[in-house]
Structure 1
Amino acid sequence: MRNCLLFLAVLFSVAAHSNVVHEERSLYRNIIVDETRDLRCLKFNTKSSQTSQSCMYKNDPDKLVFNYTKLTFASLLVTDDPKNVLVIGLGGGTLSNVIHELYPAAKIHNVEIDPAVLKVARDYFNFIETDNVTSSVQDGRIFIKRAAIKKQKYDWIILDAFNGDYIPEHLLTKEFFEEVQSVLADGGVIAANTFSSSKLYEHESATYHAVFGDFINVSRANRSNRIILAGIKTIPTQAQLNERINALAPRLKKYDVDIKAISTYMQSTKNNRDWPADTKVLTDQYSPANLLNF
């Protein structure tokens, strides 16, 4: 009982110090930007939940807040010096900003379905746009279909779309992953932000494996996030990993990313397949919404 009262006291304390600085109803959702002391967050308020999509420390905007954004940089241990980066799902633009600082010559294209989210990223989260950092207001799947027709290729594709409840269903199917695979450059990697705690865990794993073969899970014990690294043709040797860790560690430190620790969270499915062999693959005909409740 005492622990419950303590939790409620903390909750009410945080709420009391929370200040909504922007709120609007977009075409897709309710959007809130609020501040709690030094922390500014973009939130999607849906019928079933209110979830933080992106946060930044106002006094230290370089420092990453979320565990999953830090884990995403495990990608750089399996691909080298990305030149063309595609990000599906903008949020506050945090990932794009860090990648741009790390690789200023890289071309980064962000795709966001909701124009209101893009405006909020610009107005409240220091989203950087340059000749090399561009954005489109478009459904991510449509963008990739058109990129495939144009024979465009990307060596780092980040799938980070979220509708407030879960990843949109049409961005979870075998057909979609095949479309993503068609725009992945040789030597590139796909990094997908998803969850360890979802009831879709096994279905997602089976679907990624059906398209890409063995992939790498990046997740910490007792944490809900996982990053899937897929499309990797050649797994680096331990010597190559160590070399990349040593090169990246000082560059990522300012963002509070401990790449050496993150490397220990990486586990290939080659010898660690943790879903039943008969798990049903998600398709455009089979992607049931009831499984999204996790």
Structure 2
Amino acid sequence: MPTARASRKTQQWFEIPASYVQEQGMLLLRAPAGTAVLKLAQQLADGVYDRPFIVDDGEQRRLHFDLRYVQSAINLKDPDELVFAYTQAMMAFMLFDTQPRQIVVVGLGGGSLTRFCHQQLPRARVTTLEIDADVIALGEMFLMPPATVRMPILHVDAADYFADPSGDIADVVLIDGCDRLGIAPTFADPLFYQRLQRRVRTGGIVVVNLIGEASRSDAIETLVADTLGGATASLAVKGGNRVLFAWVGDTPAPDWAGLRTRAERLEQQTGLDFVSYLRRLKRSYRRYR
């Protein structure tokens, strides 16, 4: 039978055997105290449960919005690992900026990008924007440390955050905001990038996880290039994602040959494929001014 853990005010953690949805392990979800557990199990099985939930198989803990797609995952034996190839690829911005002071992560998920940036770039302030309060509440299940001055986690719509012209100027923005169908519609809006541009320094880097329908991803890539106006490059990665890198404003092309040594050092430091990233980014690099 499904069980419920201790109540926390009006919300409660429920544990349901994942066999209800043909998965291994347990389903973990938050719902109002007093909710009928069997009803939750049926909603999950029918695919109509409308809040984020977790599948825990004892090795990985995965965040889902529905059962078709995994939004984020943590390796329970190595919580600091970037499990997905696309999150690893997004860190390739470190090739071009090894000491950013202000990083903005759009989309908390299970916190893997936030945690990795916080650890690998100790001089950076890493601000995370998350529109869904339920996702923030699930953070404890993904072993997220408490928010601090250097690692604030804000419950805010990214469109509203960047609309404020008085906010901090970022060196790097990592956009990993998805809904059940892929990259969220907010990130297909020209106004979003116009406002974002004012909050990123010239020469700063915007990294976008493109996932979902190819025509939408292609349109967003064109929109980013037209709005930010510097240069772009991209990495196609396992899982159908394409990671877009966009430089803000008119900046000189990278010294690709000179970056080889940095790529080797970063690869040794992080275990990520920085030498491959460098080669592939050089091949796809395009300037627009």
Same fold (TM over 0.5): yes
Contact residue 78 and residue 235 of structure 1 kept, 8 A = no
The answer for the alignment partner of 1:177 in structure 2 is 193
Contact residue 108 and residue 136 of structure 2 kept, 8 A = yes
User: Does 2:28 align with 1:21?
Assistant: yes
The answer for the alignment partner of 2:11 in structure 1 is none
The answer for the alignment partner of 1:244 in structure 2 is 262
Distance, in Å, in 1 between the alignment partners of 2:168 and 2:78 is: 36
Distance, in Å, in 1 between the alignment partners of 2:148 and 2:206 is: 24
Amino acid at match of 2:205: V
Q: Where in structure 1 do 4 or more consecutive aligned residues deviate above 4 Å?
A: none
Q: CA deviation at 1:181?
A: 1.0
User: Does 2:260 align with 1:260?
Assistant: no
The answer for the alignment partner of 2:157 in structure 1 is 139
Q: CA deviation at 1:197?
A: 5.6
Contact residue 106 and residue 176 of structure 2 kept, 8 A = yes
Query: Which sections of structure 2, spanning at least 5 residues, go unmatched?
Result: 1-18, 33-48
Q: CA deviation at 1:268?
A: 3.0
The answer for the alignment partner of 1:195 in structure 2 is 211
Distance, in Å, in 1 between the alignment partners of 2:255 and 2:31 is: 49
Amino acid at match of 1:265: R
User: Does 2:99 align with 1:81?
Assistant: yes
Contact residue 260 and residue 278 of structure 2 kept, 8 A = no
The answer for the alignment partner of 2:221 in structure 1 is 205
Amino acid at match of 1:246: E
Secondary structure of the corresponding residue to residue 54 of structure 2:
strand
Contact residue 196 and residue 223 of structure 1 kept, 8 A = no
* Pick aligned residue for 2:142 from 125, 139, 144: 125
- Which runs of structure 2 are paired with 1:1-294 in the superposition (5 Å)? 15-24=22-31, 29-45=50-66, 50-121=68-139, 123-128=140-145, 129-146=147-164, 148=165, 150-195=166-211, 198-213=214-229, 214-220=231-237, 223-232=239-248, 233-253=251-271, 257-266=272-281, 267-270=283-286
The answer for the alignment partner of 2:39 in structure 1 is none
1:125-159 CA distance string (max 9 Å, x none): 1113322000110111001111x2x1520001111
Contact residue 24 and residue 32 of structure 1 kept, 8 A = no
Structure ranking higher on relative contact order (CA contacts 8 Å, 6+ apart):
1
The structure in which a higher percent of residues are strand is 2
Distance, in Å, in 1 between the alignment partners of 2:190 and 2:258 is: 31
Change (3 A) 1:90 1:75: same
Secondary structure of the corresponding residue to residue 17 of structure 1:
coil
Distance, in Å, in 2 between the alignment partners of 1:212 and 1:43 is: 32
Contact residue 256 and residue 278 of structure 2 kept, 8 A = no
Q: CA deviation at 1:223?
A: 4.6
Amino acid at match of 1:35: D
Distance, in Å, in 1 between the alignment partners of 2:278 and 2:222 is: 23
Secondary structure of the corresponding residue to residue 60 of structure 1:
coil
Distance, in Å, in 1 between the alignment partners of 2:279 and 2:256 is: 12
1:240-271 CA distance string (max 9 Å, x none): 32132122112212xxx221222233243528
Distance, in Å, in 1 between the alignment partners of 2:252 and 2:239 is: 28
Contact residue 174 and residue 210 of structure 1 kept, 8 A = no
Amino acid at match of 2:187: L
Secondary structure of the corresponding residue to residue 52 of structure 2:
strand
Secondary structure of the corresponding residue to residue 238 of structure 1:
coil
1:45-75 CA distance string (max 9 Å, x none): 2xxx632111011111122211110010111
Contact residue 234 and residue 243 of structure 2 kept, 8 A = yes
Q: How many residues are aligned here?
A: 248
Change (3 A) 1:223 1:235: farther
Amino acid at match of 2:27: V
1:12-36 CA distance string (max 9 Å, x none): 9x945231122549xx942111112
Distance, in Å, in 1 between the alignment partners of 2:262 and 2:204 is: 16
Aligned alpha-carbon RMSD (Å): 2.4
Contact residue 126 and residue 152 of structure 2 kept, 8 A = yes
Contact residue 212 and residue 230 of structure 1 kept, 8 A = yes
